Chain A
């Protein structure tokens, strides 16, 4: 179950399971879209339990960033594992939104 903790225009999303892959993405996309439509401008994705993000998972994170930018909001990723942190950094994603580790 994907958890979303909401507080004013901020929200923290806790994906379910330990992967963000094709199978788990549609639900996550709907939750995040709902949050942005509902006025969330500061969206944080907590990757504490996530060990793997595949290509479409990356696509989703960037899509979220793109959507938030359109409405003047921002995306942050927290609790990324070392591997994921390295991946995000290699892809220079930290230049576009905040990425932090454990």
Chain B
């Protein structure tokens, strides 16, 4: 396991992810209920949760978690912009993707080797299927950009480019000389790429193969790689992650022109290869009446739906913690009194000391028991998903009503109740 995955920061991140994931399921089910009439607040909430899971994963180099979170974020973005209706099919795929994310986060140390292709392609199919036909074309459509060297071009998907722009990102065309900008600075290409991926997206790269020469020639001292890069970093900050002289970093503007960061605007044109290739995506259109069903999406749930997952951490009311602290203090006082009376063989002192300790002990027991009490609502919450999935599988309409969510039960009993209740419900 990567050594940097062990520190406190990661643990904080993972705890945060678990918190997000705990509420996402309920929120998604509510979004499904709402159908085309979306509750923006709710969708934004899930979107932000996916976004922060993605952000942290990027930071800690958890590439698979990042990729999957990114795909869910894309799908949620389409729901948010009303380009995709959260039909049961859509929500099912999102739920399963989040299940998978939960599994990856549970075993984060090995998550980078995990297999997530099914989920990624299902989510991609979802995004492409929900786009209107003319925009769907833009998924395959390529735009071509002139590179600083004459007659050299870089091609990228029009969709990726416009999605990046819509996300408020800046697009840069960076010319790396892998010898001078990387090797001479004591870095390896892999390190450089990792830094780039942490702060943005590499849309496309073009290697100038000719610059490497052949085996018969002297080793080349120049190795040119052009990188088309999308990031939220503004031109004044891009230098933080891109260690290349500013005249070789070009900002690609909305109209397709690009200019080096260190000199006045130049006339480089971004030209569409196909006549109709738009550089910017058409503005979002209202969602079609019926979102087409995603094609060929076969997903198996990543984890069996059980409610018995024993958790290692629980949330505790601060006032309970305070009273535990006070009681512990009183226990120490009682013990001291008892010790002193014993050394003086003061029978009255011993008796009152024992009484004090006994009182505090009972109270302590009571408060400790309270810390284990958890609202039963947490257990019930898992049934909404269970019932929804069952109802869909069996093609029946099921209405689930739960009462008494606020009643508190001991954690052990709660855990024990999970399986039998699930069994009864199914």
- Name A residues whose Cβ lies closer than 8 Å to a Cβ of B: 22, 25, 29, 32-33, 36, 52-56, 58-60, 62-67, 70, 82-84, 86-87, 90-93, 96
A63-B202 CB under 8 A given contacts A55-B178, A56-B179: no
- Name B residues whose Cβ lies closer than 8 Å to a Cβ of A: 112-113, 178-179, 182-183, 188-190, 193, 202, 204-207, 209-210, 212-217, 219-220, 223, 225
Question: Is the CB–CB distance between A58 and B216 below 8 Å?
Answer: no
Q: Which of B182, B188, B189, B217 contacts A63 (CB 8 A)?
A: B217
Of the A-B pairs whose beta carbons lie under 8 Å apart in the complex, a sample of 16, sorted by A's number, is: A54-B188, A56-B183, A59-B220, A59-B223, A62-B212, A62-B223, A63-B215, A63-B217, A83-B190, A87-B193, A90-B193, A90-B202, A91-B189, A91-B207, A92-B204, A93-B207
Minimum CB–CB distance for A52 against chain B, Å? 6
Q: A55-B182, A90-B205 are in contact. List 13 more A-B contacts (CB 8 A).
A: A52-B188, A53-B188, A55-B189, A58-B178, A63-B212, A65-B209, A66-B212, A66-B213, A66-B215, A67-B214, A82-B113, A87-B189, A87-B193
Closest to B207 in A: A91
Q: How many angstroms from the CA of A22 to the CA of B186 in the assembled complex? A: 12
Question: Is the CB–CB distance between A91 and B219 below 8 Å?
Answer: no
A55-B188 CB under 8 A given contacts A63-B214, A66-B210, A92-B207: yes
* A residues in contact with B219, CB < 8 Å: 25, 29, 56, 59-60, 63
Q: How many angstroms from the CA of A31 to the CA of B305 in the assembled complex? A: 58
Q: Which of B190, B207, B210, B216 contacts A33 (CB 8 A)?
A: B216
A54-B189 CB under 8 A given contacts A59-B220, A67-B214: yes
Q: How many angstroms from the CA of A62 to the CA of B212 in the assembled complex? A: 6
Minimum CB–CB distance for B3 against chain A, Å? 16
Minimum CB–CB distance for A97 against chain B, Å? 10
Q: How many angstroms from the CA of A59 to the CA of B212 in the assembled complex? A: 5
Q: Which of A32, A56, A96 contacts B215 (CB 8 A)?
A: A32
A55-B205 CB under 8 A given contacts A66-B214, A70-B214: no
A59-B215 CB under 8 A given contacts A87-B190, A92-B205, A96-B209: no
* A residues in contact with B212, CB < 8 Å: 58-60, 62-63, 66
Minimum CB–CB distance for B180 against chain A, Å? 9
Q: Which of B183, B215, B223 contacts A64 (CB 8 A)?
A: B215
Question: Is the CB–CB distance between A33 and B215 below 8 Å?
Answer: yes
Q: How many angstroms from the CA of A29 to the CA of B217 in the assembled complex? A: 10
* B residues in contact with A29, CB < 8 Å: 215, 219
Q: How many angstroms from the CA of A60 to the CA of B221 in the assembled complex? A: 11
* A residues in contact with B179, CB < 8 Å: 55-56, 59
Interface centre among A32, A54, A67 (most CB of B within 10 A): A54
Q: How many angstroms from the CA of A53 to the CA of B82 in the assembled complex? A: 46
* B residues in contact with A83, CB < 8 Å: 190
Q: Which of B178, B190, B214 contacts A52 (CB 8 A)?
A: B190
